[in-house]
Structure formats: structure tokens, C-alpha cells
């Protein structure tokens, strides 16, 4: 049994690195539906359940130090890649579709929680709040909200469970609908020609510099400084039961990241790998505190997740009819929210390779708004739970 910090940290990083390497090198279809980061969570949770490490004072201190200090740095690096100026080039109709998707997901969470909340524990609103961050942004947003709401790591198992099972089925449904795009567009009287002209006008080719030691080192130092600054500013902010110190830290790191995303710093190629390393490590840390025995309500959570998706899909179809939105825009907007940059470009490419940039940019939009919208949903869920 591991009782000291260094082997504890080492085994978490080793498992994460091996999974990422296998996913990257194998390029197996399996990882499209069950990403390495989800496998990482449940694999580490399995080791935790088997008692591979114990919660000694040294390990507990190390866990808290790494998680609390790396989270703001990860948020900053993640958002540094999202240049809002490029996203605005998508045009009003595409952006409208994205926000309709976000709005419908928010409604899905609120309605679903109103129906199921009596079946859950009192603090279940925090778990669904974190999940809403993932389903309107990405895993990074989910982890950010988990930190902001002080959601116990033991409850993150439910979040990842819904995020993997319900998400995988939704991806398969959207991919299966691709051949029916013409019939759907005819039914809603949508004009799909705008997508072809838009995709040809977008240029999001990678203009970033190659990763080198100097830029990698600089981005690491800058991200850690942003973490320190965010934590220091948060000390002077007023707090409530919802707006805690951790919430302010997440908010400030997010704002700094969005602002830096329109500066030359956004062209640094080092931001993406560093953000991903921190994200995988933080997820491994969270999983290391979880236990399978604590997932006794898993079926109810999964059912609530499908109910959220059903409401989301219904609202999207209604708005498609009202605003004459094509199936491509609806599907990619949905996955840009629920799946993020890992799946939205895949669905876009299933329609036409020229449309992949639209999927990428819409997913980047999710990174920007996911944390704020997720915190808003969490606030409403908290009121319902009272």
C-alpha cells in the first residue's frame, strides 16, 4: 500500500501518460466513444477502491496542493487557445444555433433535476452543475466547476458515468442521422448553402509556432503565475454560500484566459499540451479519492442524463422549425456543447471535410462559455434542491 506522496503522484502520472500514448498511437475507434480521460478516471478509481494507496496526511496534503494550484493554471491554458475573434466569424445563424443548444441543455438540466432531485442526495445539484459545465463546454469546464462548487471527489464518479455512457449513445445517434440531413432540411425548409460559403471563408489552419523548450517553459511559468494571481485576488472578493473563494478563483482564471486568447500568446503551441497534461493529472487526482462503493445510485443518474438529452433534442427540433436551421448546424452545435472539440469536428467531417473548421470553432466557443453557463445552471439547481 502506497503511503507517501511521490509514488502516489508517480503512479497517477504514469497511468495517464500510458493511456494517452495508447489512444494517440492506436487511433482505435474505441476511443471515439470512450475517451482515454474517461478510462483514466475509472481505472484510477478501481485502484483507489482496491486500496492501492491510503489517505495519509502526506498524500492528502499533496493532493490538495496539486489540485488547487494546477486548476486555475489549466483553465488559463485551455482558454488561451480560444480566440473569440475567429469564433465571431462563424456568423449570426451558426452562433444562434450554438446558443440554442446551450439553452436547451440548460433547460434539460433544470427540468430533469426538478423531476429527479428527490431521488438524489441533498448535494446532488453540485454533481449536475459540474456535468452541465461539461455538456456546455468540455471536461476542463467540468473540473473547473467541480472546484468552484467544492464538489466532493466521490461524487464525480456519477458525473463521469453520465458523461461517458449517455454521451456515447448520443454521438452514435447524431452520426446515424447524417444520411437523413436532406429530408430534415427539406422538412424545416433550411438553406444549407450558407455552410459551404462559410467553410470556404474560414481559415483556422494552425499558424502556431513549433513547440520548443523556451516557449514550453515560458507557458508553464505564466500559467502558474496566473494561478497565484487568481488565488490572491479571490482573497479580497466578497463570498456567499454560492460565490465561494474557489468560485472566484475559477472566474478570474477564466477571464484572464479569455483576454489572453486575443493576444499573440494564443499562437503559442505549448499551451495545448500543457493544458491537457494538467487536465489529465487533475482528473487522475479526483479519481484517486473515489470509490465504486459510493456509486449506489448510478442507474438513476444515467436515466436523468438521458432525460436531459431528450429535452435538449426536443427543444432543438422546435427551434429548427422556427428558424429554419439545418441538421448539420443542429448536430454540430449539440456536440460542440456535449462532446467538445473531441467529437464536434468528427460529426462535421461526416457531412463534409470542408466543414470541420466550423466544428472546431463551435467547440472552442463551448470552452469560453461552459464555465459561466454551468455555474448559472448550478445556481438554479441549488435553489431547486433547497
| Angle formed by the axes of helices 5-26 and 57-80, nearest 10° | 40
pLDDT means per 10 residues in the chain (386 residues)?
92 94 83 78 88 90 91 88 76 86 95 92 91 89 89 82 83 86 88 59 55 89 95 90 83 89 84 89 86 74 93 94 89 88 78 74 85 93 90
Which sign does the torsion angle of CA 17, 18, 19, 22 carry? positive
pTM for this predicted structure: 0.79
The DSSP result for 308-322, as a single string, is HHHHHHHHHHHHHHH
In 3-state terms, what secondary structure has residue 128? helix
Burial class (CB within 10 angstroms; exposed 0-12, middle 13-18, buried 19+) of 209: exposed
The DSSP result for 203-246, as a single string, is -----PPPP-HHHHHHHHHHHHHHHHHHHHHHTTS---SSS-HH
Domain count, the chain: 1
Structural domain of residue 298, as residue ranges? Answer: 5-385
pLDDT at 196: 58
Amino acid at each position: 500500500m502506497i503511503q507517501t506522496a511521490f509514488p502516489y503522484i508517480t503512479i497517477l502520472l504514469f497511468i495517464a501518460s500510458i493511456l494517452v500514448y495508447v489512444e494517440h498511437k492506436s487511433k482505435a475507434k474505441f476511443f471515439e466513444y470512450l475517451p482515454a480521460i474517461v478510462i483514466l478516471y475509472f481505472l484510477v478509481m478501481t485502484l483507489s477502491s482496491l486500496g492501492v494507496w491510503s489517505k495519509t496526511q502526506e498524500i492528502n496534503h499533496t493532493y490538495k496542493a496539486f489540485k488547487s494550484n494546477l486548476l486555475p493554471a489549466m483553465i488559463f491554458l485551455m482558454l488561451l487557445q480560444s480566440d473569440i475573434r475567429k469564433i465571431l466569424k462563424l456568423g449570426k445563424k451558426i452562433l444562434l444555433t450554438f446558443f440554442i443548444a446551450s439553452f436547451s441543455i440548460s433547460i434539460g438540466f433544470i427540468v430533469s433535476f426538478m423531476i429527479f432531485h428527490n431521488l438524489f442526495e441533498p448535494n446532488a445539484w453540485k454533481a449536475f452543475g459540474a456535468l452541465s459545465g461539461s455538456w456546455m463546454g468540455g471536461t476542463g469546464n467540468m473540473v473547473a466547476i467541480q472546484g468552484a462548487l467544492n464538489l466532493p471527489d466521490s461524487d464525480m464518479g456519477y458525473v463521469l458515468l453520465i458523461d461517458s455512457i449517455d454521451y456515447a449513445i448520443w454521438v452514435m445517434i447524431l452520426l446515424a442521422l447524417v444520411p437523413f440531413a436532406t429530408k430534415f432540411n427539406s422538412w424545416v425548409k433550411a438553406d444549407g448553402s450558407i455552410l459551404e460559403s462559410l467553410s470556404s471563408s474560414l481559415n483556422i489552419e494552425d499558424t502556431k509556432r513549433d513547440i520548443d523548450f523556451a516557449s514550453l517553459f515560458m507557458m508553464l511559468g505564466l500559467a502558474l503565475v496566473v494561478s497565484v494571481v487568481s488565488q490572491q485576488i479571490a482573497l479580497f472578493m466578497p463570498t456567499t454560500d454560492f460565490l465561494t473563494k474557489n468560485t472566484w478563483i475559477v472566474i478570474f482564471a477564466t477571464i484572464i484566459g479569455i483576454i489572453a486568447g486575443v493576444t499573440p500568446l494564443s499562437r503559442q503551441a505549448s499551451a495545448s499540451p500543457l493544458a491537457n497534461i494538467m487536465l489529465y493529472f487533475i482528473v487522475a487526482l479526483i479519481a484517486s479519492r473515489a470509490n465504486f462503493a459510493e456509486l449506489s445510485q448510478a442507474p438513476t443518474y444515467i436515466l436523468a442524463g438521458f432525460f436531459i438529452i431528450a429535452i435538449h433534442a426536443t427543444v432543438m427540433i422546435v427551434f429548427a422549425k422556427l428558424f429554419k436551421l439545418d441538421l448539420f448546424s443542429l448536430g454540430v452545435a449539440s456536440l460542440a456543447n456535449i462532446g467538445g472539440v473531441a467529437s464536434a469536428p468528427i460529426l462535421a467531417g461526416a457531412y463534409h471535410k470542408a466543414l470541420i473548421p466550423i466544428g472546431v470553432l463551435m467547440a472552442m466557443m463551448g470552452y469560453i462559455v461552459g464555465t459561466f453557463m454551468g455555474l448559472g445552471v448550478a445556481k438554479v439547481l441549488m435553489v431547486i434542491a433547497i
